[in-house]
Amino acid sequence: MFRTTIAGSLPKPAWLAETNKLWPQWKAEGADLADAKRDATLLWLKEQEDAGIDIVTDGEMSRQHFVHGFLEFVEGIDFANKVKMGIRNNRYDAMVPQVVGPLKLKGRVHEVEAKLLRAHTKKLVKITMPGPMTIIDTIQDSYYGDRVKMAMAFADLLNQEARALQADGVDIVQFDEPAFNVYMAEAADWGVKALERCIEGLTCKTAVHICYGYGIEANLKWKETLGDSWRQYEQVFPALAASNITQVSLECANSHVPMELIGLLKGKEVMVGVIDVASEVVETPEQVAAVIREALKYVPADKLLPCTNCGMAPMPRAVAAAKLRALAAGARLACEAA
Ligand code: ZN
């Protein structure tokens, strides 16, 4: 039986935050907001369990954005004076905070979500965090003056939180590195080293998610420029195969990624993206099973984890819930046929 999971994020309910936005405003504050985040986390936990997802997440209900949700807990960052920056190699502009001093965690980042999940499910629990290369591509450096040095400083903080998450009972800590698909040479050179610094000393499973982004317009336009065969993974996978990371997440559904690139990840568990997050059309179990069967040519069944291509944060709630069910149903179908 395949173990299913998701890349991480799910849509926030309309009573928690603005919908269909990457940087949504919260609908409550103070203790009410804390309650609302907790309620939304439990709701999506139940939806994942009922759909038949095996490795569940908090759906990232407690963070406004997948990068800035971490940065809010870091000292040495000025959020009051954001600057406009072209991110992901100028694919789109974002208003980003600035690093203005030595970086240090203010305290725990995801303790509440981790403990909440652990207390309410017997399933394997995963918490996601942004990877160091993606973080430094989403923040202005006004202090370190050296990209790699700043990335390593963030890696130390991520490692500190990852160790604490493991102590909370989290089974898998995942790092999201969409920047690996944009700066491939740098990713292979120091990005993977920074990632290994994040997982130093961990005994739980670890994962890296590398994707072509959410289904937002800027990403869809970028994908149109990538041609018929997307081989970005080819430059980074050999370095990842040689690393200590346990699992690698890649996008395969409706994608121009040649499936044979999975063969470069020998020995790794592979999270195969079988759900397209750039389309609101819900996959049939047969479509999901077909992608799984294709991937099985390159990765053994016990190392294949059917997954979503990326996070589902900007999608309508009902569509995301239906896609969870399609994912699990497709995995069951592929198993019966195998
Ligand atoms: Zn992604």
Neighbours of ion ligand 1 (CB under 5 A): 211, 310
Mean pLDDT of 321-328: 98
- Residue type present at position 239: A
* CATH code at 30-337: 3.20.20.210
Q: Quote the ligand 1 centre to 176 CA distance (angstroms).
A: 7
Q: Quote the ligand 1 centre to 321 CA distance (angstroms).
A: 18
Q: Which residues contact 56 (CB under 8 A, 6 or more apart)?
A: 5, 45, 48, 49, 117, 121, 123, 124, 125, 126
Domain ranges of the chain: 30-337
Q: Quote the ligand 1 centre to 256 CA distance (angstroms).
A: 15
Q: Quote the ligand 1 centre to 309 CA distance (angstroms).
A: 7
Taking only the tens place, the pLDDT of each residue in 115-129 is: 999 999 999 999 999
Name the one residue in this structure whose structure tokens are 């990713």.
Answer: 187
Bridge partners for 63 per DSSP:
none
pLDDT at residue 89, as a whole number: 83
Q: Quote the ligand 1 centre to 106 CA distance (angstroms).
A: 27
Task: Give yes or no for residue 28 having a pLDDT over 90.
Answer: yes
Please tell me which residue, 294 or 1, carries the higher pLDDT value: 294
Task: Give yes or no for residue 140 having a pLDDT over 90.
Answer: yes
Tokens of 235: 């430059």
Q: Quote the ligand 1 centre to 74 CA distance (angstroms).
A: 23
Q: Quote the ligand 1 centre to 294 CA distance (angstroms).
A: 21
Number of H helices, E strands in the chain: 11, 10
Mean pLDDT of 178-182: 93
Task: Give yes or no for residue 65 having a pLDDT over 80.
Answer: yes
Please tell me which residue, 88 or 11, carries the higher pLDDT value: 11
Task: Give yes or no for residue 147 having a pLDDT over 90.
Answer: yes
Residue 84 DSSP class: E
Q: Quote the ligand 1 centre to 78 CA distance (angstroms).
A: 26
Taking only the tens place, the pLDDT of each residue in 70-80 is: 999 999 999 99
- Residue type present at position 123: K
- Residue type present at position 45: L
| Nearest Cα residue to 177 out of 199, 161, 202, 160 | 199
Name the one residue in this structure whose structure tokens are 């936005």.
Answer: 21
pTM: 0.96
Taking only the tens place, the pLDDT of each residue in 228-267 is: 898 989 999 999 999 999 999 999 998 899 999 999 999 9
Task: Give yes or no for residue 13 having a pLDDT over 70.
Answer: yes
89 contacts 145 by C-beta, under 8 angstroms: no
Taking only the tens place, the pLDDT of each residue in 81-92 is: 999 999 888 888
Q: Quote the ligand 1 centre to 242 CA distance (angstroms).
A: 22
| Distance of alpha carbon 177 from alpha carbon 188, whole angstroms | 12
Q: Quote the ligand 1 centre to 250 CA distance (angstroms).
A: 8
pLDDT at residue 88, as a whole number: 84
Task: Give yes or no for residue 338 having a pLDDT over 70.
Answer: no
Q: Quote the ligand 1 centre to 80 CA distance (angstroms).
A: 27
